[in-house]
Amino acid sequence: MSNERTPLISSGVCGLAVTSVACGAPSDPSPESNSPGTPSQPPRRLNTFFGVMVPTVLSMFSIVLFLRTGFVVGHAGLLEGLLMVVVAYIIISLTLLSICAISTNGAIKGGGAYYMISRSLGPEFGGSIGLMFFLAKVFACGEYVLGLVEAIENVFGVDPEFPGGIHKLPQGYWYTVLYSSVILLLCLIVCLVGAHIYSRTAFVILLVVTVSLLSIFISFVAVKPQDFVITHSGPGNQTRRYNVSYTGFSVTTLRNNLGPDYSLDYSTNSVMSFATVFAVMFTSCTGIMAGANMSGELKTPSVSIPKGTITAVVYTFTVYVILFLLVSATCGRELLIQDYGFFQRINIWPPFVTIGIYCASLSAAMCAMIGASRILHALAVDHLFGFPLAPAAITSKSGNPFVAVLYTWGLAQCVVFAGELNAVASVVTVFYLLAYAAVDLACLALEWASAPNFRPTFQFFSWHTCLLGILSCLVMMFVINPVYSSGSIVLLFVLLFFLHYRSPTSSWGYISQALIFHQVRKYLLMLDVRKDHVKFWRPQVLLMVANPRSSCQLILFVNQLKKGGLYVLGHVQLGDLDAMPTDPVQQQYNFWLSLVDKLGVKAFVDLTLSPSVRQGTQHLLRITGLGGMKPNTLILGFYDSNTPEDFFLQNYAFCDSSVKESGEGDYNFGVDLPSLQAHFPPVRDAESPRWVTPEEYVGIISDAIKMNKNVCLGRHFFQLEGEDSDSKVDGSERIIDVWPLNLLQPGSRDYEDVCSLFLLQMACVLNMSSKWRHAKMRIFLNVETGSSDQSWVANEETYRELLKKLRIRASIKVVPWDFVVQHHTQLDNGHPAGHMQALSEDFLSVVNSMLMEHSSQAAVRFLYLPQPPASRSHSQQFLAQLEAVTNGLGPTLLIHGVTPVTYTDL
């Protein structure tokens, strides 16, 4: 049985099937099976501190802490700088509440943010956001490495940025790429060893960073005021000199640093603004999911992720606020604006800061590489993108996805060829914000769906926080970089449509289904049957199907006839539940729903168990539907002795060759084509017993009319072609014939009774459907031209006016039937009045000949269905008359309407 860890698709992109996850190892749809290279249960070793808090803190204490604090305070001032910190942390805190809610609502497997989003929003949205989050991690890894190389060149490069040190390393673009590649190789080695090794290494790095921070705090008190001279290269090889000062704690310095002073950025030669400074500052807040991305290695992810992430966010927020206050009170604005690495100048021992920068950057790079590889591994295990990502599902014996790590390293290596940080940082921030918005959306959808199983142990959230988090992320995306934001959203939709096109059906559960249920229930309550009006009438059909093998063409035809109304396929399983251990009907629903999918019709399925077909049909007529959506029309196949044809043998969708083209590994809810074919029995032959007697069949018609349901009988629809979903028929060569008069009672001349008007309405509805839109509709008026009464001429004009009022476009054909009426001799069979009287065979034959003469070219015919006899003994006679009249005709629908359906006013 499939579960939430079942891969989605085993067929690959571009027709390449994924048949193995390791070279020579057979694929297994469940990751829990013991297959080579894939352990049944990857080891979970990390606790809250090592697995969540340490990587989250280090991700938020990257190069921004050491190299961009002065940049933010110098340009924005203390007040706006603190405002930026508060706004940034409000955004990430809102997302953090959503992360905590989702992570405490069930077991979290590997993949972190991707796992949360995909299991909440479904494979299309989860896969697209997961891949973008993976790319964000890859770009972040390259960004941190480039930042580390920049810091190394500032101290050890031949063109020193800072005095002192060993200036031996050559500089230039290719040297930057070389140094970045060496550092990436070091990160690769650590990540290949395993996440647990990194977590221990990260703890040591956190200690080093903490010591560096303490040295900075101590230096604000211990270092005496100093003056410096800073030089920058200007245009035309000019050198600019700036006299700056470190004043120590000074009220004057604090007062001067309160307000903003946006000026020229010496590293980019562009004037800064609130948006540009905030964009740089926000990059320090993009690490809140570092712990969630380690979910596959955590002992108790549902406990560790909320506790560790909240602690890390509070800790980093406190450090940033204190650091902003200390910097504003001790450093002159020129020092902050002209030297972003001023911490090294004012430190009691400058190597403390240098080591802290190196450790923080190296740790952030490794954290990003590991997080990206875990996301990629989860995507590969789910087979969302098929063959290209299939090798990333391979793991070592210890559970480390080393192939995914190699993928990540290769892409990060491509990123460092950019050689610049600014553009990379903007892409990273935008992708992160989009991922955060997706997490908020997932939590919002779960909250709005009101599913009983959404019971997170973390309760400090609501739909207001989720919605505010989504809006905040989207607004800040466009504030930071509108171009990248628009591009990322376009990329998201491209991936979304790609995954939707591949139709990765899953057993994870779809939040869309829960939301649809929630809304449908609400609107069904609003759909009041007491407010029904005839001008909004539409057919709501219950089609009784004995065996789909012989009824598929009728099923497809009725799908065109429903006009946006309710369409239900009904089936009665004969039996008594008291004599059975379980209900056999429940096991059949998947087969019938798969049939609906195969045929491409928009229909529901309703099955019942009953001792007789008649009782079962009564049950379905009463209980099918809900509220204002209940069937008003019953459609039955015709009762005759003809041997039906097997549609499964004729239609391509039910052939074995169609399986290979659609993908053999597609998730099909446990019903593949062979089992679907085996479930439905072969069509009956001439000697097969009938499940329904003529008396019971006519009784079903009578029951439906008593229940105020319209009745239609379909005959010869196996001859109808062009109704399947792949057909390009538009009806331009089709003809719809309507005979609104009761042909079995020539004395009746009422063309405007309820049944006749219902006949017209159904033909008009068919003429409005996609495959019959351009069909020509003909209406036949039977008149007696030989009589002295010439009122039929006036009746014809009256009927034309009626069609005009009803807005029905059709041609009227006048059919003289004097010869037919002459053969209408009723045989007295001795029954009292009110009972059915026999019609002569000559009359029935002449009526049939008339229909054959005028409607032989029609694609479908609509005939008047007389009232069924009240006596059961006349059932066979009634059916024989109908069979004689329709004998040899093509697809024919006999209709008896009991409800008014036409309206001429507005």
22-49 pLDDT per residue, tens: 333 333 333 333 434 444 455 556 788 8
Looking at residue 749, the DSSP 8-state letter turns out to be -
pLDDT at position 684 is 81
pLDDT at position 635 is 96
Higher pLDDT, 782 or 651: 782
841-853 per-position pLDDT tens digit:
888 999 999 999 9
Query: β-strand 710-715 against 892-896: which pairing, if any?
Result: antiparallel
Looking at residue 889, the DSSP 8-state letter turns out to be -
- Buried b / exposed e along 90-123 (16+ C-beta atoms within 10 A): ebbbbbbbbbbbbbbbeebbbbbbbbbbbbbbbb
**Cross-strand pairs, 893:** 714, 862
- The H-assigned helical ranges of 348-417 are 351-381, 402-416
pLDDT at position 842 is 87
Paired tokens of 412? 């990060």
**Cross-strand pairs, 233:** 239
| H or E, element range at 239 | strand 239-246
The CA dihedral of 331, 336, 337, 339, to the nearest 10 degrees, is 130
Please return the burial class of 800, using the count of CB atoms within 10 Å of its CB with bins 0-12, 13-18 and 19+.
Answer: middle
Residues contacting 866, CB < 8 A, separation 6+: 742, 744, 745, 878, 896
pLDDT band at 557, cuts 50/70/90?
very high
pLDDT at position 713 is 96
Spatial contact of 665 and 506, defined as CB atoms under 8 Å apart: no
435-484 per-position pLDDT tens digit:
888 888 888 888 887 777 778 888 888 889 999 999 999 998 888 888 88
Flag whether pLDDT at 678 surpasses 80. Answer: no
Flag whether pLDDT at 826 surpasses 60. Answer: no
Q: Count how many Cα atoms sit within 13 Å of the Cα of residue 252 in the half-sphere of its side chain.
A: 5
Paired tokens of 55? 């990587």
Give the whole-angstrom CA distance, residue 587 versus residue 100.
39
Paired tokens of 395? 């793991």
Spatial contact of 298 and 113, defined as CB atoms under 8 Å apart: no
Looking at residue 298, the DSSP 8-state letter turns out to be B
Spatial contact of 424 and 64, defined as CB atoms under 8 Å apart: no
pLDDT at position 321 is 95
pLDDT at position 836 is 63
- Of 598, 851, 899, the C-alpha closest to 716 is 851
pLDDT at position 127 is 83
Higher pLDDT, 854 or 170: 854
> What Cα–Cα distance (Å) separates residue 899 from each residue in 696, 699, 702, 791?
24, 20, 15, 28
pLDDT band at 400, cuts 50/70/90?
confident
User: How many residues are there in the chain?
Assistant: 906
- Of 777, 683, 706, the C-alpha closest to 736 is 777
The three-class DSSP label of residue 542 is: strand
| H or E, element range at 886 | helix 875-886
pLDDT band at 317, cuts 50/70/90?
very high
Higher pLDDT, 296 or 119: 119
Give the whole-angstrom CA distance, residue 544 versus residue 602.
16
Span of 226-240, 454-468, 872-886 with lowest mean pLDDT = 226-240
Phi and psi at 601, nearest 5°, equal -100, 155
pLDDT at position 196 is 65
